[in-house]
Chains A and B, each alone.
Chain A
């Protein structure tokens, strides 16, 4: 695509420009810094020309192609936002089911187009709210949901057959999805029409997010059994959301975020294929890969973030096609949700966060995200207030309806700088993936603690850059104001706890105890048998009246518990 004669001409003109135009200016006015670096640490040139792409052997058809076609660099769908806007999906949930139901209805009333459930820590860690370790945490960072009774209240007057729901749930994903399915079925909505996502990504819990229960091996079986079950039973449901967001939040560089996420994806695919050999199905990646989905962070560093999304998309397509022999287009598509980077929110001058999140959201949209959560400006201080969340939704609506950025596909495609960055990040991420491959894949790497230590190292290095002033943050190390203002904050009413616990006790009293015991015994039995899928017995246990904590305890008895190696 590059005419050598024309490139020579550019080179010649460039040299001329440097001598005649640039040099005299540099003598008079030196640049702000000796070196300009991206967050990944790539040295940035003054500007980019076709020469920078030509020398990398870059060509349009193999690196970019067209939207909705391999390698999907420009986007996963042929019409992107011209056909369907991204889903406005704010992560929410707190207190008991009643508060959460009210918040969901509020979000929908102001223009949110999909739900995203936040569960409290006891629910995520398989503890009922009356467990001694759970007590202080009930309803704090999400909604408490130990039984289908809570799930039913959470979705009161919400059309489960029309709205898609994403659930941030991992170590107890099967229990929670079972509750959702049972509630829907009780309303006459069959599971195969339900649309949504379970996060179900346990590897990133071990590496960064820390809400794991069982050791890596049984945890991988749990996760992959759910992927297989969803592929069979819930054709519109994303059975996993392979997450890079939490790596970024824990300190990962953009290349680490891509590499660890895709390495996790590779590991899940291999596991499902192996489980398929034992269980008889799935037989090929095309049986389940179309329902794998992804989740990334969007930071303020606009161009490198856009490059990150594009590089990840291109790499996953290659992995699925060339490594795993995928045939279906959909199996090669990296569809992803984005959340703006929580770690870049500042407690200082909190309203400034609105400006940051707007730019981050723009990065996600220019990067071709399928759904988006914009953090609220007050989240470095507390759970978001209603007013703050409303502004997050308004940010998305301004981007979608006022800026015109959604009117053409991949508008930064072909920009010399962005294409160069996309290539560079891809190269760097492949190096990390190679290293994980040499370690024997991500489960092995997790057991060794290596990815965890790598991310902690990146986090520390970043902090040192902030200390030295190499990273500048308005309100933190530049343009500092003396005090953190006292803004209105959201607090969870402690009465919530008693309400949830009372309802749980009533639930336990009313059920058929013998039936629950039998169901939990079945869970224990199947947990010991690798060849069987664990999902049906867990769902049956939920149906029989067993609580989330009881099912989790039964699995703990068989599988044991995990503690991550702590390297800092």
Chain B
């Protein structure tokens, strides 16, 4: 994969976390590893994370994308909580959700502000492409805002 100029300046940094009490972490780890192998900086938080933890780490680590994995069926409530907390901190970091999500919930998650929902069977090549694209857009947006200040 060709690194963009933005990525060359400072590697894109993404956060991958399991939100809630759900322990199924195979998907999250495979995604984290694929992103790392594709040259991204990955902060892997692991299982049993709260929305507060995720937001705090996102700020501390200055990440470009947040990836959330949920297989417990609590995705609407947990993600809505996370999005609210991100907004409270004035953050518009793109959020991606993966896991066992019924297709009828995709629209609702997107209404909450989730940029992309990637269910079981999504090819890793697509995962890497989406994360990179979103990181790049976010970085560009941020630099523009920074420049305007």
Asked if B72 contacts A141 (CB within 8 A), the reply is: yes
Q: How far is the CB of B88 from chain A (nearest CB, A)?
A: 17
Asked if A381 contacts B72 (CB within 8 A), the reply is: no
Q: Report the stretch among B7-15, B30-38, B134-142 that lies at the interface.
A: B30-38
Residues of the B chain whose Cβ atoms lie less than 8 Å from the Cβ of A476: 121
Asked if A343 contacts B26 (CB within 8 A), the reply is: yes
Residues of the B chain whose Cβ atoms lie less than 8 Å from the Cβ of A566: 44-46
Given known pairs A121-B21, A489-B102, the reply for A347 and B33 (CB within 8 Å) is no
Point out the residue from B23, B26, B120 that lies within 8 Å of A346, measured CB to CB.
B120
Asked if A251 contacts B73 (CB within 8 A), the reply is: no
Asked if A459 contacts B30 (CB within 8 A), the reply is: yes
Q: Report the stretch among A129-137, A179-187, A272-280, A425-433 that lies at the interface.
A: A129-137
Question: CA of A348 to CA of B123 in the docked complex: distance in angstroms?
Answer: 13
Given known pairs A121-B22, A210-B47, the reply for A467 and B103 (CB within 8 Å) is no
Point out the residue from B32, B34, B121 that lies within 8 Å of A347, measured CB to CB.
B121
Residues of the A chain whose Cβ atoms lie less than 8 Å from the Cβ of B46: 563-564, 566
Bits for A459-489, please: 1 = Cβ < 8 Å to B, else 0: 1100110110000010111000000111001
Bits for A474-511, please: 1 = Cβ < 8 Å to B, else 0: 01110000001110010110000000000000000000
Instruction: Kindly identify, within residues 338 to 363 of chain A, every residue whose CB is under 8 Å from any CB belonging to chain B.
Output: 343, 345-348
Instruction: Kindly identify, within residues 438 to 477 of chain A, every residue whose CB is under 8 Å from any CB belonging to chain B.
Output: 456, 459-460, 463-464, 466-467, 473, 475-477
Residue from the set B23, B48, B123 with the largest chain A CB neighbour count within 10 Å: B23
Q: How far is the CB of A381 from chain B (nearest CB, A)?
A: 5
Instruction: Kindly identify, within residues 374 to 394 of chain A, every residue whose CB is under 8 Å from any CB belonging to chain B.
Output: 379-383
Closest to B74 in A: A136
B91 on the A face (CB < 8 A): no
Given known pairs A140-B73, A463-B30, the reply for A489 and B104 (CB within 8 Å) is yes
Point out the residue from B50, B104, B120, B124 that lies within 8 Å of A133, measured CB to CB.
B50
Q: How far is the CB of A285 from chain B (nearest CB, A)?
A: 31
Given known pairs A121-B72, A456-B29, A460-B30, the reply for A141 and B124 (CB within 8 Å) is no
Asked if A380 contacts B120 (CB within 8 A), the reply is: yes
Closest to A473 in B: B121
Residues of the A chain whose Cβ atoms lie less than 8 Å from the Cβ of B72: 121, 137, 140-141
Residues of the B chain whose Cβ atoms lie less than 8 Å from the Cβ of A211: 23
Q: By DSSP majority rule, is chain A's interface helix, strand, loop, or mixed?
A: loop
Question: CA of A347 to CA of B71 in the docked complex: distance in angstroms?
Answer: 13
Residues of the B chain whose Cβ atoms lie less than 8 Å from the Cβ of A489: 102, 104
Residues of the B chain whose Cβ atoms lie less than 8 Å from the Cβ of A345: 120
Question: CA of A31 to CA of B64 in the docked complex: distance in angstroms?
Answer: 48
Question: CA of A348 to CA of B46 in the docked complex: distance in angstroms?
Answer: 27
Asked if A486 contacts B73 (CB within 8 A), the reply is: no
Bits for A524-568, please: 1 = Cβ < 8 Å to B, else 0: 000000000000000000000000000000000000000110101
Given known pairs A210-B25, A568-B32, the reply for A346 and B121 (CB within 8 Å) is yes
Closest to A378 in B: B102
Interface size on B, residues (CB 8 A): 36
A249 on the B face (CB < 8 A): yes
A250 on the B face (CB < 8 A): yes
Q: How far is the CB of B103 from chain A (nearest CB, A)?
A: 5
A114 on the B face (CB < 8 A): no
Closest to B28 in A: A568
Asked if B121 contacts A383 (CB within 8 A), the reply is: no
Q: How far is the CB of B119 from chain A (nearest CB, A)?
A: 5
Residues of the A chain whose Cβ atoms lie less than 8 Å from the Cβ of B36: 568
Given known pairs A137-B20, A381-B103, the reply for A348 and B121 (CB within 8 Å) is yes
Point out the residue from A134, A343, A347, A456 that lies within 8 Å of B21, measured CB to CB.
A134
A122 on the B face (CB < 8 A): yes
B77 on the A face (CB < 8 A): yes
Asked if A459 contacts B21 (CB within 8 A), the reply is: no
Question: CA of A477 to CA of B122 in the docked complex: distance in angstroms?
Answer: 10
Q: How far is the CB of B102 from chain A (nearest CB, A)?
A: 4
Asked if A484 contacts B119 (CB within 8 A), the reply is: yes
Q: How far is the CB of B69 from chain A (nearest CB, A)?
A: 12
Residues of the A chain whose Cβ atoms lie less than 8 Å from the Cβ of B26: 249-251, 343, 456, 459
Given known pairs A460-B30, A564-B46, the reply for A133 and B21 (CB within 8 Å) is yes
Q: How far is the CB of B126 from chain A (nearest CB, A)?
A: 10
Q: How far is the CB of A18 from chain B (nearest CB, A)?
A: 41
B59 on the A face (CB < 8 A): no
A125 on the B face (CB < 8 A): yes
Asked if A125 contacts B102 (CB within 8 A), the reply is: no
Question: CA of A466 to CA of B101 in the docked complex: distance in angstroms?
Answer: 21
Residues of the B chain whose Cβ atoms lie less than 8 Å from the Cβ of A122: 21
Instruction: Kindly identify, within residues 75 to 115 of chain B, every residue whose CB is under 8 Å from any CB belonging to chain A.
Output: 77-78, 81, 100-104
Q: How far is the CB of B30 from chain A (nearest CB, A)?
A: 5
Question: CA of A494 to CA of B119 in the docked complex: distance in angstroms?
Answer: 24
Residues of the A chain whose Cβ atoms lie less than 8 Å from the Cβ of B34: 460, 463
Q: How far is the CB of B23 from chain A (nearest CB, A)?
A: 3
Point out the residue from B24, B32, B123 that lies within 8 Å of A477, measured CB to CB.
B123
Point out the residue from B22, B32, B103 that lies within 8 Å of A486, measured CB to CB.
B103
Closest to A480 in B: B121
Closest to B46 in A: A566
Residues of the A chain whose Cβ atoms lie less than 8 Å from the Cβ of B104: 486, 489
B125 on the A face (CB < 8 A): yes
Asked if A136 contacts B77 (CB within 8 A), the reply is: yes
A209 on the B face (CB < 8 A): yes
Bits for A246-259, please: 1 = Cβ < 8 Å to B, else 0: 00011100000000
Given known pairs A140-B74, A484-B103, A564-B46, the reply for A467 and B124 (CB within 8 Å) is yes
Question: CA of A381 to CA of B33 in the docked complex: distance in angstroms?
Answer: 24
Asked if A382 contacts B73 (CB within 8 A), the reply is: yes
Asked if A210 contacts B23 (CB within 8 A), the reply is: yes
Closest to A346 in B: B121
Asked if A347 contacts B23 (CB within 8 A), the reply is: no
Given known pairs A125-B21, A141-B22, the reply for A568 and B33 (CB within 8 Å) is yes
7 A-B pairs with C-beta separation under 8 A: A140-B72, A382-B100, A383-B73, A467-B124, A477-B123, A566-B45, A568-B29
In the A-B complex, the 9 residue pairs with the smallest Cβ-Cβ separation, listed nearest first, are A210-B23, A121-B21, A568-B29, A136-B77, A566-B46, A136-B74, A489-B102, A140-B73, A476-B121
- Known contacts A134-B21, A459-B26; 11 additional CB pairs below 8 A are A137-B72, A137-B74, A141-B22, A210-B25, A210-B47, A250-B26, A343-B26, A381-B100, A484-B119, A489-B104, A568-B29
Question: Which chain B residues have a beta carbon within 8 Å of chain A's beta carbons?
Answer: 20-26, 29-30, 32-34, 36, 44-48, 50, 72-74, 77-78, 81, 100-104, 119-121, 123-125
